[in-house]
Amino acid sequence: MPNERARRQAKVLRSEPLFQGRVFALRRDRVREPSGLVATREIIVHPGSSVVVPVLPDGRIVLIRQYRHAAGQYLWELVAGHKEPDESFLEGARRELREETGYTARRITKLLEIFPSPGLLGERMEIFLARGLVKGKARPEDDERIARHAVTLGQAKSWIRKGRIRDAKSIAGILYYASFARTKR
């Protein structure tokens, strides 16, 4: 039955750690997938990330811009960061919002969760909507140089359409908010 097969998980036959870094690990698994296929899969193991769509009282969205070495360029993004050990996604969202923008949120609700690259990356991202923002002092990590800019939803969508916002988590979060979570003014 298709539904029963969809609920089953792969059986790991062998797992070999290849690398352990500060934020993620890499391993090679020999697995029997739910379909019966036996395959070797190299997986990036990641604790998960919290992503925040910070919405100001006037409806503008706070974006951040920072250099992303893996992409080789500066990117406009939503607030985000990996979960710390023993931290919930919600706690991570509150921490990242405060660190990267200085804002705290009176109300924060989960919008959705995504897997940014499920073919090789085990990272789950939970995307939250933050409202009732209270301004404070940003405290970025030592290796972060972050610029902040608030844009209207129309501007954010235009930036996506024009390729100015190209980060997948940000595109997913902004478009989900625009389509399903925004309260009409």
Instruction: Give the C-alpha distances (Å, rounded to integers) separating 101 from 11, 104, 163.
Output: 42, 9, 23
- On whether both 12 and 85 belong to a single domain, the answer is no
Q: Which domain holds residue 32?
A: 2-45
Better-predicted residue by pLDDT, 155 or 185: 155
- On whether both 147 and 113 belong to a single domain, the answer is yes
Q: Are the C-beta atoms of 139 and 102 separated by less than 8 Å?
A: yes
- On whether both 103 and 166 belong to a single domain, the answer is yes
pLDDT by residue (tens digit) across 112-137? Answer: 999 999 999 999 999 999 999 999 88
Give the predicted TM-score (pTM) of the model.
0.90
- On whether both 15 and 94 belong to a single domain, the answer is no
In the prediction, which pLDDT does 6 show? 55
User: How many separate domains does the chain show?
Assistant: 2
- On whether both 27 and 87 belong to a single domain, the answer is no
In the prediction, which pLDDT does 4 show? 54
pLDDT by residue (tens digit) across 61-80? Answer: 999 999 999 999 999 999 99
